[in-house]
Structure 1
């Protein structure tokens, strides 16, 4: 039996056309700022090589996506605004490059799914220290790109992340400028790099400004915000920076139970992509991590690792975060 030749890849077209893989991707998908002559030449080369032609073999390759912060736990990460926006953007980015995107559930253990998963590459979001999913993927030699710096990166690893230290300083400086003197950090829940990086930056800021750190442990099931009871009853905190999506609502609930007015008595900032924070009473200031930009960059990096591993650039790519200031953290007018 005559073996069926493998279909041409973007890397094959790039070599034949003497351009970069990024140029090929832009030419085939009608994106980017490249000259029309280059676009026509790349497409002609792709046609000559049989890219996407009938009989050329299966064209659709597959990328996988998993949120592994709590791998094995049955939680619905798609209901979290950050992940849902990330997933939508990643799907569009994968499809634009000729790839399907498979989203893996969080409640599947590493002992079954991850050792048999048929994908060309994996996107891992919030991979924690000792991640069993990452271990299984590395053992199989499947290319991986991370959203969030891995806790113990290898020299060849690629990740996309925000500058959490700079963002934390921006938030704390903003709260201090609005009059806060005792800022609590509502976090310490996950084992991924994000939680550790923000916590370390918070502790450094407190030391630099001679402020006592006020950690309040986040609990995803603490809708009434009982974690704040001790700090609010004793007047220990006059501002809160919450690191997770439900944290702003928990803080508002706790403030209402303790008779604290926002922002007169308590300032609040929450890291969240949830648009509902625009309509709370008062509207809550949020930190956006720009999931769409991170997803696009991560998919592009993973496709490069899959199709042209020798040309893939390891290390981190930084996407700036943004502080969206609303009434909850503005200095009250006298």
Structure 2
């Protein structure tokens, strides 16, 4: 095939070659819509300016905590998400690179990408601002705080999932259910908190919310919550470490799980099946979420002007011994879709 030229991009975008040059190089006085349209057309044609083809590379980043650097690849959900996104990208003829959390601004402005996947992006995300300024197609895993036309997103129904967990705990006799959530400000955390508080209000129960404290591997922050006559009799932790921290805190307080404390944790970690007792978990199904997100991103890149609709991936509750008081229920687990 003949290489795509700047004139080809100009004809396809119905602008001058000078406008194409300004759009791709971030120069000139162009309307944002024009700059984005030209860059999208260039990417779809396989042209990246400077005489070379546009990179067939997708970026992936987790920007939950803003400028804070952290090893998101060590979290089972994100580890599975990276693997699933890589498989999906390769199937569509793209490479995928997992970028570090909160890199310096210069890196985000210069890294060669055809488009980017952003996971758990909070409001005011500086990385999203930079990528939008570059005119790159964006797809989000986790509904963005300020979705824009021409961007795609994939998510779970966190309201329905939270209610499924709370209803399950209530069916096992729980009357005072606590939630371990925060300090994240991304859609996932905020949605789970809102659903929990609404459920408590509807059922006439007092909400108990305890944050996940970074570095508190022994769950010491739970000790005050699990003390006294008004302590919760069930806990739902929406992050991977919550289950282990709750087990450690319950052991320190002399509480049995599930006898004194029912427990559910959102996690993709298969090791929760072998804890004592095995912990009930919620899976956000990263394999399906990433396949949908990559598909949406590639459509944004290759079909200018087409925006894929949002995709809702059902979460799954895997019931194990930690949240079951009914003797007839199996301790080996059962699945419940949200």
| Structure-2 residue corresponding to 1:99 | 94
Does residue 262 of the first structure (1) align with residue 261 of the second (2)?
no
| Structure-2 residue corresponding to 1:132 | 126
Alpha-carbon displacement from aligned partner over 1:136-190 (angstroms, at most 9, x marks no partner):
0111100000000001222333100000000000000000000100000000221
Query: How many angstroms does 1:332 deviate by?
Result: 4.7
Contact 1:126 1:146 in 2 (8 A): yes
How does the TM-score come out when normalised to structure 1? 0.81
What residue ranges of structure 1 are gaps of 5+ in the alignment?
7-50, 52-56
In the TM superposition, what are the counterparts of 1:204-223 in structure 2 within 5 Å? 204-223=198-217
What residue ranges of structure 2 are gaps of 5+ in the alignment?
6-45, 47-51, 329-338
In the TM superposition, what are the counterparts of 1:180-199 in structure 2 within 5 Å? 180-199=174-193
Query: How many angstroms does 1:118 deviate by?
Result: 1.1
| Structure-2 residue corresponding to 1:5 | 4
| Structure-1 residue corresponding to 2:307 | 312
When structure 1 is superposed on structure 2, of 315-324 and 201-210 the one drifting more is 315-324
| Structure-1 residue corresponding to 2:240 | 245
In the TM superposition, what are the counterparts of 1:1-334 in structure 2 within 5 Å? 4-5=3-4, 61-109=56-104, 111-235=105-229, 236-313=231-308, 315-333=309-327
CA distance in 2, matches of 1:265, 1:238: 6
Query: How many angstroms does 1:193 deviate by?
Result: 0.3
Query: How many angstroms does 1:217 deviate by?
Result: 1.1
How does the TM-score come out when normalised to structure 2? 0.80
Query: How many angstroms does 1:72 deviate by?
Result: 3.0
2:225 is paired with a residue whose SS is helix
CA distance in 1, matches of 2:110, 2:54: 21
CA distance in 1, matches of 2:140, 2:69: 21
Alpha-carbon displacement from aligned partner over 1:6-49 (angstroms, at most 9, x marks no partner):
6xxxxxxxxxxxxxxxxxxxxxxxxxxxxxxxxxxxxxxxxxxx
CA distance in 2, matches of 1:67, 1:59: 24
Contact 2:264 2:323 in 1 (8 A): yes
1:233 is paired with a residue whose SS is coil
Alpha-carbon displacement from aligned partner over 1:183-235 (angstroms, at most 9, x marks no partner):
00000221100000000000000000000000111113111111111121114
1:159 is paired with a residue whose SS is strand
Displaced runs of 4 or more, over 3 A:
57-60
